[in-house]
Amino acid sequence: MQMKQYLDVLPEIQDALDHNKPVVALESTILSHGMPYPENVGFAAEVEKVVRAEGAIPATAALIGGRIKVGLSPAELETMCRAENVGKVSRRDMATYLAMKRNGATTVATTMICAAMAGVKVFATGGIGGVHRGGEVTMDISADLQELKQTSVAVVCAGAKQILDIGRTLEYLETMGVPVLGNGTSDFPAFYCRKSGFGVDYAAKDESEIASIIKTKWDLGLEGGVLIGNPIPEEYALDYDYMEGVINEALAEADEKGVRGKDITPFLLARIKEITNGVSFASNVQLAYNNARVAARIAKALCKLS
């Protein structure tokens, strides 16, 4: 395929894929646009360590110098963490960034595309994008949802970001035929909070059961992703009503300042961090580690089934 001419896969990752060993894709937007330097360097090292501790290989994705990178060298990781002239890249931006040889951090949608190109089947993120509050008027809907419909990668997340309209997000996923599984939960998680009040399609008892459903879906030729809602660990979870109040305050400020489009999520997350005195950020970090851990277990279980 022609797209392979743009793709660089680290030898360790390619070797793992060639020998049916578990690999977990990781995004780079959380590094370049979700955390300050140098805290993001420590996070990047730790999340990779979490994946390796479960017996899988981490594969952080990024666009660097006109190349799609699946797995980053220490120097490339530093480039993404310093985030100097590093854009936030979704599906619509990929061709432009590659053709112009610009550096870009991959969102959920773009990381799924990169993972699928390389043959990586499982991806761990923090929370997916979705239908924004008021999306029925603004039509502000994340490209993540459309990517889940068409790209065959399993995505482990702590639900949808709580800043979104979670009910409409799940309705959209249902329309697109995307299975939404709960990892030991019947309630779809709400990022900082373990429950959103909305159900999942199936509450799986463990990672092996999730892997079996994923394999069966793809064996049937049903293309597209599978979304796994993995609740934030109890000790780091925040109160839903408290967070709703914080989010509404941040949303009002965004509206007042005219922040919209791809800038809205980074603005809201940064403002929520300030309002909660950093507590939300600490929760964000812990849920990302937990998702990486679960993704590695699912990737291992998938390899066994193969």
Question: For the residues 254-275, what does the mean pLDDT come to?
Answer: 85
Prior bond of 266 cis (ω within 30°) = no
Is residue 214 within 8 Å of 184, Cβ to Cβ? no
Binned at pLDDT 50, 70 and 90, residue 34 comes out as confident
Catalytic residue among 161, 262, 273, 300: 161
Q: Which residues contact 91 (CB under 8 A, 6 or more apart)?
A: 109, 110, 113, 143, 146, 147
Question: For the residues 149-160, what does the mean pLDDT come to?
Answer: 97
State the Cα–Cα distance between residues 266 and 72, nearest whole angstrom. 23
- What crossing angle do the helices spanning 143-150 and 166-175 adopt, rounded to 10°? 30
pLDDT of residue 134: 84
**What does the domain layout of the chain look like in residue ranges?**
2-305
Binned at pLDDT 50, 70 and 90, residue 265 comes out as confident
Question: For the residues 92-121, what does the mean pLDDT come to?
Answer: 98
Is residue 296 within 8 Å of 55, Cβ to Cβ? yes
pLDDT of residue 1: 54
Write out pLDDT tens, residues 237-257. Answer: 999 999 999 989 998 998 899
Write out pLDDT tens, residues 46-105. Answer: 999 999 999 999 999 999 999 999 999 999 999 999 999 999 999 999 999 999 999 999
State the Cα–Cα distance between residues 117 and 226, nearest whole angstrom. 17
In degrees and rounded to multiples of 5, residue 123 shows phi and psi of -135, 130
Question: Which among 68, 63, 62 has a CA at the least distance from the CA of 44?
Answer: 62
27 is catalytic: yes
Catalytic residue among 27, 54, 147, 207: 27
Write out pLDDT tens, residues 162-177. Answer: 889 999 999 999 999 9
Q: Please report the sign of the dihedral spanned by the C-alpha atoms of residue 28, residue 34, residue 37, residue 41.
A: negative
pLDDT of residue 306: 86
Residue 211 has pLDDT above 80, yes or no: yes
Residue tagged 């990024």 (tokens): 62
Query: Can you give the three-state secondary structure of 2-54, one letter per residue?
Result: HHHHHEEECHHHHHHHHCCCCEEEECCHHHHCCCCCCHHHHHHHHHHHHHHHC
Average pLDDT, the chain: 95
Tokens standing for residue 292: 């990486």
What CATH number does the domain located at 2-305 have?
A: 3.40.1790.10
Residue 261 has pLDDT above 80, yes or no: no
pLDDT of residue 145: 96
- What crossing angle do the helices spanning 39-53 and 74-82 adopt, rounded to 10°? 130
